Amino acid sequence: MSLRDVPTAVEEVYRSEWGRVVATLIGMLGGDFDLAEETAQEAFAAAVTQWEKDGVPEYPRAWIISTARHKAIDRIRRKAKFEEELEPRLEQGTLDVATPPQEYTAEIPDDRLRLIFTCCHPALALDAQIALTLRTLCGLETEEIARAFLVPVPTMAQRVVRAKSKIRDAGIPYAVPETSQMAERLDAVLHVIYLVFNEGYSASSGESLTRADLSEEAIRLARIVVELLPDPEALGLLSLMLLHESRRAARTSEDGDMILLNDQDRTLWDRALIAEGTALVERSFALRRPGPYSIQAAIAAVHADSPTPDATDWRQIVALYDLLLQVVASPVIELNRAVAVAMRDGAPAGLAVIDTILARGDLANYHLAYSARADMLRRIGKKSEARKAYERALALTQQAPEQRFLRKRIAEVSG
């Protein structure tokens, strides 16, 4: 490996292993989130120099964990109150300095799940649970999480800080709860997993439309949750993610440009994932009145079952969105329903729904609302208005493939 390749290797390990590294370190360090994150960052920085000298290790994650662990020990030793801070950890067995660094040659499948359940403790506010988990688990920047929640960056930063302080001050244990306690945390856990998947399925910013590592990890975690607690909504979420994931190969061109659902080559859809996802959503619906993930999975299943765009049963999809809105009120769901209404009843009908949503002030900074509005205006021949809506969407998105797509649309309606 050339010297130029080492930073790339470090970056790849960072993207794929950050969450597991931090989760493992938090467990080693007795639940100290800040120390785990800071020493993990230091270890990754050290890897650039050390791997250029020694080569990339056989087990990069083990190297990072071992290096971060020693940096954490050094930090604690340098603190003035040695006996107050180091000795209790040694006595509790949370930081064993006498043990040689362990080679993590096998997967540790529950590390991230343990971290999710810890962050989703009911003592924390729901928004703080989710924000902290996304920051720690995925290594997402605060700006990325803020965009996902449509809130200002300072607001999201405070949520993360408060959540960390609450865990530290309340002594919330770093442990998976008993099965009897899981139910009260399940909604938040599923929400976190789905947001992780969404960041991988449609990245909030950057040059790539998707991040397969995050989507795959979210699916892996959902499978573990289903094994631990086969709740209908856990089944529904796993189904939903599998059905979305089945379309990954068809969503981008060879140049990395995005391809809309109706323009995708459906022969590229993964039929095995579709079969598994469909079976799961049927199992979920059979258990009780469906929840939001199960209903969304049913919508995805209708799309997956359609051999061509024209064969899509839009009446059924609109009916499912109507049911979904009865379960959970959301302007984003209303927007998605509006798109389905436009496909069923025509663009003017869908445009009227979107204009109502925007008139309320909802989704004012959500680029997909303006993109959908622009598309409907384009379809009914109002090119000037469509161009303005596309330009508004372009100003709000930070994802390069979406920016390229919107510029092409702007060119189309500007002629």
What is the reported pLDDT for 346? 96
User: Which amino acid is it at 52?
Assistant: E
**pLDDT (tens digit per residue) in 373-413:** 999 999 999 999 999 999 999 999 888 889 999 999 999 99
Give the dihedral of Cα atoms 284, 290, 294, 297; nearest 10 deg.
100
Round the average pLDDT of the chain to a whole number and report it.
Answer: 82
**Per-residue pLDDT for 281 more than 90?**
yes
Pairwise pLDDT comparison (203 vs 66), residue with the higher score: 66
Angle between helices 5-28 and 126-138 (to 10 degrees): 130
Half-sphere exposure of 170 (CA within 13 A, CB side): 15
Q: Which among 103, 129, 123, 115 is positioned nearest to 19, based on CA atoms?
A: 115
d(CA 342, CA 192): 31
What is the reported pLDDT for 233? 94
Contact 9, 56 (CB under 8 A): yes
**pLDDT (tens digit per residue) in 139-185:** 667 777 776 666 777 887 887 787 777 777 767 666 666 666 777 78
What is the reported pLDDT for 327? 92
* The pair of three-digit structure tokens given for residue 111, joined into one six-digit string: 């590390």
Confidence class for position 259, pLDDT limits 50, 70, 90: very high
What is the reported pLDDT for 192? 84
Pairwise pLDDT comparison (204 vs 152), residue with the higher score: 152
What is the reported pLDDT for 110? 57
Pairwise pLDDT comparison (123 vs 276), residue with the higher score: 276
Residue 167's contacts (CB-CB under 8 Å, 6 or more residues apart) are 31, 33, 118, 119, 121, 124, 132
Confidence class for position 296, pLDDT limits 50, 70, 90: very high
Q: What is the mean pLDDT of residues 240-250?
A: 95
What is the reported pLDDT for 63? 93
Q: Report angle CA 258, 9, 143 to the nearest 5 degrees.
A: 55
d(CA 128, CA 158): 9
d(CA 326, CA 57): 53
Ranking 66-70, 157-161, 224-228, 400-404 by mean pLDDT, the lowest is 157-161
| DSSP sequence for 316-345 | HHHHHHHHHHHH---HHHHHHHHHHHHHHH
Q: Which among 20, 33, 97 is positioned nearest to 65, based on CA atoms?
A: 20
Task: State whether residue 414 is helix, strand or coil.
Answer: helix
Half-sphere exposure of 93 (CA within 13 A, CB side): 0
Q: Which among 184, 186, 127, 196 is positioned nearest to 157, based on CA atoms?
A: 127
What is the reported pLDDT for 196? 81
What is the reported pLDDT for 107? 35
CB-based burial label for 296 (10 Å; 0-12, 13-18, 19+): buried
Percent of the chain at pLDDT above 70?
83
Sort strands 398-399 and 205-206 into parallel, antiparallel or unpaired: parallel
Burial pattern 192-219, b for ≥16 Cβ within 10 A else e, equals: bbbbbbbbbbbbbeeeebbbebbbebbb
According to DSSP, residue 101 is labeled P
Burial pattern 117-130, b for ≥16 Cβ within 10 A else e, equals: bbbbbeebeebbbb
Q: What is the mean pLDDT of residues 292-312?
A: 94
Q: Which among 229, 257, 302 is positioned nearest to 238, based on CA atoms?
A: 229
**pLDDT (tens digit per residue) in 83-141:** 455 455 545 544 443 333 333 333 334 566 777 777 777 777 777 777 777 777 666 67
Q: What is the mean pLDDT of residues 190-216?
A: 73
Q: What is the mean pLDDT of residues 241-263?
A: 91
What is the reported pLDDT for 175? 61
Q: What is the mean pLDDT of residues 73-86?
A: 62
CB-based burial label for 44 (10 Å; 0-12, 13-18, 19+): buried
Angle between helices 292-304 and 271-287 (to 10 degrees): 140
Q: Which among 262, 216, 268 is positioned nearest to 247, based on CA atoms?
A: 268
CA distances from 365 to 361, 384, 394 (A): 9, 21, 11
What is the reported pLDDT for 92? 52
Q: What is the mean pLDDT of residues 335-341?
A: 97
